[in-house]
Every structure is written in C-alpha cells, then in structure tokens.
Amino acid sequence: MTATAERPTTTIFRRPSSTKGLWSWITTVDHKRIGIMYGYAAFTFFIIGGLEALLLRIQLSQANGEFLTAGAYNALFTMHGTTMIFLFVMPASSALMNYLLPLLIGARDVAFPRLNALSWWIFFFGAIFLYSTFIFGTSMAPVGVDGVGGVDGNLAPGGGPGSFNFLADSPDGGWFGYQPNAGPLYSPGTAMDYWALGLQIVGLASLVSSVNFLVTVLNLRAKGMRLLRMPVFAWMTTITSFLLLFSLPIIAVALFMVTFDRQFGSLFFAANAGGDPILWQHLFWLFGHPEVYILILPAMGIVSEILPTFSRKPLFGYSAVVFAGAAIAFLGFGVWAHHMFASGITPVAQAAFGLATMTIAIPTGIKIFNWLGTMWMGRIRLHTPMLFAIGFVAMFTIGGLSGVTHAVVPSDWQQTDTYYIVAHFHYVIFGGAVFGLFGGLYYWFPKLTGRLMNERLGKAHFWLMLLGFNLTFGPMHWLGLQGMVRRTWKYAPETGLEPWNLAVTVGAFIIAFSIFIFMINWFTSRRRGEESGLDPWDARTVEWMAPNPTPEYNFAVPPVVTSLDHFWHLKYEEDTEGRAVRVDHADEMLANIEHDQLNPVSPIHLPNPSYFPFFFALGLPIMFYGVIYHRTPWGKALILVGLVISLAAVIGWAMEPLEEPHGDDGGLAEHDQLELAEAAVSPEGSDPVLPPAGGETESSDD
Amino acid sequence: MTELTHEASLEHAHPEHEGTGVDDRKLGMWLFLSSEFLFFGALISNYLLYSNRAGFPGVYPAEIYDIPFTSVSSFVLLMSSLTMVLAHNAQSRQDVNGTRTWLFATAALGAIFLGGQVFEFTEFIVNFDMKLSTNPAASAFYVLTGFHGTHVAIGVIMLLSLWGISRRRGGLSDKQGLNLELVGLYWHFVDIIWIVIFTVVYLLSVPPA
Amino acid sequence: MSSPEHIHHPSPAQYWKIAVVLAVLTAVEVAIYYIHRDFDLGHFNTVLLLLLAALKFVIVIGWYMHLRFEKSTLSRFFTGGFILASALYTIVLTALGVIAIRGG
C-alpha cells in the first residue's frame, strides 16, 4: 500500500503519529476506527444492561420474590432502561453509521473527522461518568414529615430480605426521570445527578455527530450520487440526524433544569413550591418520542439494504421508503403527548394526539409493505443477515400493531404502566432495532474483517434469539392485560401471574444464551472466518466496491455513481424479457475493481490523528463531577480542573495546523466551546492573505 | 500566493463531490444554529409558563424590570450586530484595520451588554431579594437570561481571539475570514434570540394580577 | 463557489441604514410599551410588539446574516428549525394552559 497520511512539516505540537497500539486508538480520527470503538462500547453496555435485566427477571420469576431489595430493583430497572437506550442502541447505531456512512456515499471520511472523534470520546466519558454512580452515587429515602429517613436506598417499606442492595445507590427514578420524584425532595443523594449530567454529556456527543453526519451527507457524496440515489441506510442516517439535531436541545434544557433544581435551588419542577411536573413530561417526551424513531430508523435503513440484496431484487418503492422515513420522523415530533394520556391532559389534546399517533401507522405500514414487496417473487437467500431482516419485519409489525392500540386513549388508560406497554416497546426496540442491528453486523462484518461470520452459529443465534425474544416479551402482553404493573418488584401469589412470569424469565435467559453464541461467532470469525472477497453477498451498493477489510483510505478510486444500486447495475443487465442477467465480464471487472482500490496510484492524504478530541472530552466529566460536589472546595476545584483541561484542548485544537494536505476540518463550531476553536484557528505554514500592516505587527509570538 | 489562498478557501467546498456548494463548516454552523431555536424555545416557554402564574412567594421578575435600562442594553447588543457585519464586510474587502476595529467594537459592545446583565442580576438579588430559588418564575428568568448571557460571553471570547490573531499576524487569512463569518453568524443568532427575549420576556411580560 | 455571494452583499452604508431602521423599531417598541402602560392598548399591544420583534428578527437574519443571499438549502434548514420550535412550544404552552390564559 502506497497510501500514506502525510505528516505536517511545521507544527507547534508534535502530532500523534502511532498507527498501532493504545495511543493510535485514542488519537484516531478515522471514521472506521471510531465506529469500531462505538461498537465495542455499545456491546459492552448491551451485556451490562442485559445482566441488569436478568437480575430483574430472577426477582420476578416467582411471586413475592426475595432476590432483590426494592431499592435495588428500582435502581436496576432505571439503569437497564437508561443503558439500553442511551448506551447501547444509540451508540450501536452510531457505530454502524460511523463505519458505513462515508462508504455508502463513496467518501473517504466524514466532513469533520476530529469532531467525529470528539463525539465518540464525549460519549465514552459520558457513559463512564453515568456508570460511576455505582461507585460514587448515593440514593437516600426522602426525609419524611416526621423528619426521619435519609437512610438507605429502600424507598419501599422495609425493603424486605434480598441481596444486591449495594446496587440501590444508583439512579432509581426510571429512565424517564419523572419529576418531582427524581427531584431533590424525593430523590436526595447524588445518584439522579449522575443520571441527569451523564445523559447531558452523552446527548452532547449525539448532537455533535448529528451535525457531522448531516454535513457529510449533504456535501460529500460521490460524483453522481444524487440524494435519491443514496442507499436507504444513508437516508435513514440523515433523517435520524435531523431528529437528533432538533430533539436533543430540548432534553438538554430539561436536564439542565433538573440539575439546577437539584444543585442550585431553582424550583422548576418543585410541585410543593408551584413548579409544574407536567412541564417535565412535555419536555422529556418532546425529546423522548423522536428518540424512539432515533432508535428504530437506522435499523429500518439496515433492513432496507439487506432485504433487496438477499431477495436479488431492487427495493420495492425506493422513494416511498425514503419519504415514509421522513414522514415518520416528521410526524414523530407531533405525538409526544401520547405518553401522557394518563397525566391529566385535556380531552382535546388527548383526541388530537391519539389521532396524530394513529397517522404514524400509515408511513410505517408503507414501509412494511414495501419490504414485503421487495421479497415478493424474489429469489430469496436465507443467509443470517436476511433472517434477522425478516425477523425485524415480523417482530416490528407486532410491536407496531400493539402501538396502535395505545393510540386509542381509553384503551391506553387500561394499558398505562402495565406490562402490556413493556411488551410493546420491547417488540419495537428489541424486535425492531436490535434485530436490525444484528442483521447489519452479520451483513457488514466482511467490511470490518475481510471475513464472513459463521453461518451455522449465526442461524443458531437467530433462531434462539427469536424464540427467547418471543418467550420473554410475548407473555408480557397478557401479563399486562391481566393487570401486572410495571416497576413493582413484587406481586402476590394470588394474582396468578406466576407461570407466565417464570416463562418470561426463562425466555430472558435464552436470549442471553443466544447472545453468548453471537459473541463466540464474532470472535472466532474475526480470525478464522471464511474469506469474503470483494462482494460476498452479490450486493447492490457502492460500499462493496471498497476492498474488505476496508483500507484506511476507503476508496483509492472514489466511485462515480450513475444510478441507484450502482454496483448492481455494473454487474447485471436486463435481457430481452426484463430479467437481470449477470454481464459476461462481471468477475473480471470485480477483480479489477479490487485491484484498483487496493493500489492507489498516488498518495492519499488522510486527516491526521489528534490528541485534542480525547482531552477535550476528558474535561467534561471532571467538570460535571465538580458540579455535583460544587458545595465542597474540591468540587469547585474539579470544575476548574475540568474547565482548564477542556480549554487547553480547545486551544491546542485551534493551534493544530489545518493546512494538512486535504481532509481535516477546522473543527465545526458545534459545542459552544468548540466555537472558540473556530475563532482561534490559526493555520501554521500558510501566509496570511494580507501583507503585515506596518507598525501593527507585534512581535508577541511565543 | 493568491492562488494558494484561493485554493484554501475552496477546500471545504468539495468540487469533486455532489453537494450543496455551501462550505462544510458554514453548513454545519447553520444546522447547529437551527437546533438552537429548540434550545432557547424551551427556555422561553419555561419562562412564559411561570412568569404570571399567581400565588408564588416573593417578587416576580416582571414586577421589577428596569425597562429603560434593559432597552439601552438591548440597543447595545443590537448595534453590536452592525459592528459585526461591518467587520465581516471589512474582511471581505481585505481592510485589515477596519476588520480589527469592528471586531474589537463588537466584542466591546458584547462586554457592555454582559456588564449590564451582571448589574441587573445584582440589582435583582440585592435590592429586590429575587433569587434563583425565590419562585419558579425567578428560576425561569435567571436560567433563560443566564444561558443567553453565556452564549454572549462565548461569543465575546471568540471575537477577542480573532482580534488577537489579526493583531499578531497582521490580518486574517481567507480561511480565518471564514471563521470570522462563522463567529458572525453565531453572534447575529445570539442577537436575534435577544430580540425575542426583549419583547416577549421584558416588554410583554406582566406580573399576575 | 463562495465568491458570487459577495457581489450581492449590501454595502457598509446600507448596513448603517439597516441599523438605523433597527434602532427606530426598538424605539417604537419601547414607546408602545409606555403608551400601553398609560392607555391600555389591549391586544394591540401584544400584536404590535410581536410584529415589531418579528420584523427586527427577519431583518437581522436576512441582511446581517445574509440569509437572503445564501443558497436556499440554508434558509430551509434554518426556517425549518424555527417553525418546528415555534409549533412545538406553542402546542406545549397551549396544553399547559398558558396561551389560552393570555388570550383571555
């Protein structure tokens, strides 16, 4: 390989240059490596969140379970939800989007590689910050009217026997953090501060990457790739980024308000002082409902890539799928109050939001029928990615249908806070997003490793997961309809809920086992899997025109796109009866493509690695620890230390030469402090446009 | 020389790609600013919710606004948008002294505005005993105007950085000229948010009857 | 790519004139505020002040931020964000009873 990242000749700071080892990962700005880090982090949190779920299920497997204390139970369901949404599904989507977006649109990297690294490190430190609550956080019972309380994490009377009470010292207000329950009065202690500030950091990461992805899609598409020639996954990444861009500021404000309430004595949600808890619900769900689509749309994009490939047909109604995605996103902003039907909003609002919610079924239905239409009459190959894609369509449809039943307000009143709701959103998020993500992992594994995952293990994983999933979440429908309430750590034997609960627990363990199979498959296939070659799936889109594993520069020769499914049309043409026929020289052409892509004719300039995203992100959690303990002198010191680290990184970032040969960005002014970097940007080695103006030039250079 | 800088200015316009033709960073800035509407919208709504809700203890912000004072500081911020755009104009005409002067003027006006805000907060807290924790209306007022002030402060820092670079290097390159444009966009945005705040939060806000 | 925009940009003299307009509008706003205090203008007060603010808002965006002279992509995103925010928070404030209270 002749491709090299050229090193700058004049710098103030020595730029990191290692290509192997820990520092190369810390300083990388390569979207693929960043995607990989996102992926492993997300999967780690998937395991952690899964273990939390298993503990919950052990507790509920029998009536009057005595495995967990009430406090530990509250903490575990809070952290399970928070983890799975913010630390697993979102970063897992982010992993695939990061790795694939530039490849899908035929680009060498995202628009702002250093900001991309910044997003990842902010996410990473935010997640660590959030989880450090298990070590540093405290959760105390509210001080009661008689002034007692403030004891241990057992809100419920007595708490009863049970283990794992040490877990109780963590956030326990639910992933939705309803106020005033999660406010200073009813959740004293620091655990909910870790939750609010941790989510604040993680959210910032997503905001930064949403701008980055949008600019990438809008400005960096390969020649000829018009917007309506983009792969659907690239489209869904775009739409998801818009959702993030417009919904994250809302939750940022809401979380700031919580933090001000808890730390600085403001009264936004203090019901006893005139604050309005319903305001929290509005702000939270204004973000929270788009968030649902943030979780599902990437998976829909993945499935829209897999189904045509393995049906050997173009996606049925490409533009309808794209516009339906946009319509889902748009409507998704207007339905948030359906989470609040039981919160006493007016009948008019209930009717309006109920109707709006039902309309979402229309674009969603369009998508489902398009996917079915894609498979219809296709020559279907049931490889593992295809199985997951079909599983997605089936399971997501079930979840979607139970969702429509919540749109009917009186029906929703019966379902609110029961296991029926739990069943619904797991069908959508697990049956939907997670199945889609796994499908994507199997499908694009060769891009990562140049190898295929083992089909036998993959199929075992799929069928076990499908079985375990339905055994876990199917019976929750009837448990909910029988009146089993959410977020309650015990139920009485007389309720008759025990048999199905036991089944649910068994199902959860089957899922866990299937994930174990996946892990074995992943780690063995990475080293010993069958070599994939350039085009293992007979694919349709241009990311498969880059060699496997993907070289650092992605494309030596950026593709010039002439149609939707460009790659497919290079390989196939229509015969007189309109059937697709592989062109004679297809194999030769593929060999040529691979050869050309592996052997760049001239050096390719890649963005240079940088220390500063890492250190900028490192400052944030330190600052936020300081905020939590700001009443103490060392808390104030921490704020200062964090600020200094981040500020130093910003200055370093700004001083880092921009005039690298092609590629690096000046750091998009995204986070406010980053804008400083913008302002202070001072390219070394480039002459200013203007001649120095006589006496004005000061020799204050350091 | 000219060729080189010209190339640098086009670097982010990607002639070899399909795209909008708008510079990456500028596009990113506009996207970021459009999301800021949601940020300030939430804070303003928050204020509107509480500002005339009856029955809170203590003083309501709307009872103690000093409209003449705030009008002046609003005027100052508004005029800083003029100086900002003049700085940008001077830069595009490669007028080094003009750029520098107007940059400094913008930063100075921003600093005056911030000084006014500090004075206002101090006045409210010391003379009227309206603290963050007095009532939800006060909380909403301080957090809204505080976040706006933070934005202004960040803008001032960025302006001063540009000014410093211009002084040290005898002018701004084309690329830094783009930075100036981006800072300008941010600055004007902060100004239009204040236009809304001044009208909705100050002029139209009434204490509960 | 970026050069044509400079052709259309207003001149410094025009920027000064725009500033004068903005200053006058602000003065009118403050005047209306005082008139309303002494002679109750009722809803006119709200409507007038909001209109004046909107005018200033549009002038700064259009001319000082040059949005009038930019590619339509930018104004689409920007107005999109603004309209979305306005719509969402109007609904929230209506649901919370704030807007109805003010209207009555």
List, for residues B38-73, the tens digit of each pLDDT value: 999 999 999 999 998 999 999 999 999 999 999 999
| Partner-chain contact A246 C84, CB within 8 Å | yes
Residues A688, B106, B33, C54, CA torsion sign: negative
Query: CA nearest A38: which of A205, A151, A244?
Result: A205
Question: Residue written as tokens 């959210």?
Answer: A203
Those residues of chain C that have pLDDT short of 70 are 1-8, 100-104
| Partner-chain contact A282 C96, CB within 8 Å | yes
Q: How far apart are CA B148 and CA A202, in angstroms?
A: 23
Q: How far apart are CA A221 and CA C73, in angstroms?
A: 16
Chain C positions in Cβ-Cβ contact with residue A282 (cut-off 8 Å): 92, 95-96
Query: CA nearest A332: which of A363, A300, A371, A373?
Result: A363
Return the DSSP state at B15.
T
Query: CA nearest A191: which of A155, A244, A157?
Result: A155
Q: Which of C33, C45, C81 sits opposite B67 (nearest CB)?
A: C33
Domain ranges for chain C, please list them.
1-70, 71-104
State how far residue C65 is from chain A, nearest Cα, in angstroms.
Answer: 16
Mutate to test the interface with C, among A241, A246, A283, A343 (most CBs of C within 10 A): A246
Chain B positions in Cβ-Cβ contact with residue C73 (cut-off 8 Å): 20, 22, 27
Question: Residue written as tokens 């149609």?
Answer: A563
| Partner-chain contact B34 C81, CB within 8 Å | yes
Closest residue in B to C63 (Cα) is B85
| Partner-chain contact B188 C61, CB within 8 Å | yes
HSE-CB at B114 with a 13 A cutoff on CA atoms is 18
Closest residue in C to B9 (Cα) is C2
State how far residue B31 is from chain A, nearest Cα, in angstroms.
Answer: 7
pLDDT in tens, B106-153: 999 999 999 999 999 999 999 999 999 999 999 999 999 999 999 999
Domain ranges for chain B, please list them.
37-49+61-203
pLDDT score for B134: 94
Q: Which of A250, A334, A345 sits opposite C95 (nearest CB)?
A: A345
Q: How far apart are CA C64 and CA A513, in angstroms?
A: 61
pLDDT score for A14: 64
Q: How far apart are CA A167 and CA A172, in angstroms?
A: 10
Chain C positions in Cβ-Cβ contact with residue B49 (cut-off 8 Å): 93, 96, 98
Mutate to test the interface with C, among B25, B37, B190 (most CBs of C within 10 A): B37
State how far residue B91 is from chain C, nearest Cα, in angstroms.
Answer: 11
Judged on CB neighbours under 10 Å (0-12, 13-18, 19+), A458 is buried
Question: Residue written as tokens 């509407």?
Answer: B37
Q: How far apart are CA C48 and CA B97, in angstroms?
A: 41
Note the pTM of the prediction, 2 decimals. Answer: 0.90
State how far residue C57 is from chain B, nearest Cα, in angstroms.
Answer: 5
Chain B positions in Cβ-Cβ contact with residue C88 (cut-off 8 Å): 38, 41
| Partner-chain contact A246 C95, CB within 8 Å | no
Residue positions counted in chain B: 209
pLDDT score for A607: 82
DSSP H stretches of helix in A312-336: 318-332
Q: What percentage of chain B has pLDDT greater than the value 70? A: 93
CB of B102 within 8 Å of any CB in chain C?
A: no
| Partner-chain contact B82 C64, CB within 8 Å | yes
Closest residue in A to B22 (Cα) is A219
Q: How far apart are CA A522 and CA A461, in angstroms?
A: 11
Closest residue in C to A245 (Cα) is C81
Closest residue in B to A678 (Cα) is B179
What ipTM was predicted for this assembly?
Answer: 0.92
Q: Which of C73, C84, C96 sits opposite A333 (nearest CB)?
A: C84
Q: How far apart are CA B105 and CA B88, in angstroms?
A: 12
Chain C positions in Cβ-Cβ contact with residue B22 (cut-off 8 Å): 70-71, 73-74
Structure tokens at A532: 């994939």
Chain B positions in Cβ-Cβ contact with residue C15 (cut-off 8 Å): 82, 85-86, 89
Cβ-based neighbour number of residue A522 at 10 Å: 21
Amino acid at A541: T
HSE-CB at A350 with a 13 A cutoff on CA atoms is 15
Q: How far apart are CA A614 and CA A602, in angstroms?
A: 31
Chain B positions in Cβ-Cβ contact with residue A267 (cut-off 8 Å): 133, 135-136, 139
Cβ contact C94:C87 at 8 Å:
no
- The torsion defined by the Cα of C81, C85, C91 and C94, in degrees rounded to 10, comes to -150
pLDDT score for A652: 86
Cβ contact A49:A55 at 8 Å:
no
Q: What number does CATH give the domain B37-49+61-203? A: 1.20.120.80
pLDDT score for C5: 45
Interfacial residues of A (vs C; Cβ cutoff 8 Å)? 218, 246, 250, 276, 278-279, 282-283, 286, 333-334, 337, 345-346, 349
The strand pair at A572-574 and A580-582 is best described as: antiparallel
Question: Residue written as tokens 């004595």?
Answer: A265
Closest residue in B to C84 (Cα) is B38
DSSP string, A616-671: HHHHHHHHHHHHHTTTSHHHHHHHHHHHHHHHHHHHHHHHS-S-SSS------S-S
| Partner-chain contact C26 B13, CB within 8 Å | no
Closest residue in C to A246 (Cα) is C81
| Partner-chain contact C78 B33, CB within 8 Å | yes
Cβ contact A464:A517 at 8 Å:
yes
Asked if residue B6 has pLDDT above 90, the reply is: no
pLDDT score for A157: 38
pLDDT score for A678: 35
CB of C88 within 8 Å of any CB in chain A?
A: yes
Residues A687, A688, A689, A694, CA torsion sign: negative
Q: How far is CA A169 from the centre of its chain?
A: 26
Q: How far apart are CA A245 and CA A431, in angstroms?
A: 26
List beta partners, residue A581: A573
Rg of chain B over CA atoms, in angstroms? 20
Cβ-based neighbour number of residue A574 at 10 Å: 10
| Partner-chain contact C73 A218, CB within 8 Å | yes
pLDDT score for A692: 32
Residue B81 φ/ψ region, left for φ over 0, alpha for ψ in the -120 to 50 degree band, beta for the rest: alpha
Residues A582, A444, A425, A183, CA torsion sign: negative
Return the DSSP state at A530.
P
C27-34, long-range: CB < 8 A, 24+ apart: C28/C52, C29/B198, C29/B199, C29/B203, C29/C53, C30/B67, C30/B68, C30/B71, C30/B203, C32/B203, C33/B67, C33/B203
Chain A positions in Cβ-Cβ contact with residue C96 (cut-off 8 Å): 276, 278-279, 282
CB of B92 within 8 Å of any CB in chain C?
A: yes
pLDDT in tens, A480-506: 999 999 999 999 999 999 999 999 999
Q: How far apart are CA A694 and CA B167, in angstroms?
A: 11
Those residues of chain A that have pLDDT short of 50 are 1-12, 144-160, 658-702
| Partner-chain contact B49 A276, CB within 8 Å | yes
Buried b (16+ CB within 10 A) or exposed e, B101-134: bbbbbbbbbbbbbbebbeebbeebeeeeebbbbb
CB of B46 within 8 Å of any CB in chain C?
A: no
State how far residue C5 is from chain A, nearest Cα, in angstroms.
Answer: 18
Q: How far apart are CA C100 and CA A583, in angstroms?
A: 68
pLDDT score for A697: 30
pLDDT score for A690: 31
At residue A572, φ and ψ (nearest 5 deg) are -125, 150
Structure tokens at B54: 């009856």
Cβ contact A492:A63 at 8 Å:
yes
| Partner-chain contact A286 C84, CB within 8 Å | no
Chain A positions in Cβ-Cβ contact with residue B32 (cut-off 8 Å): 211, 668-670
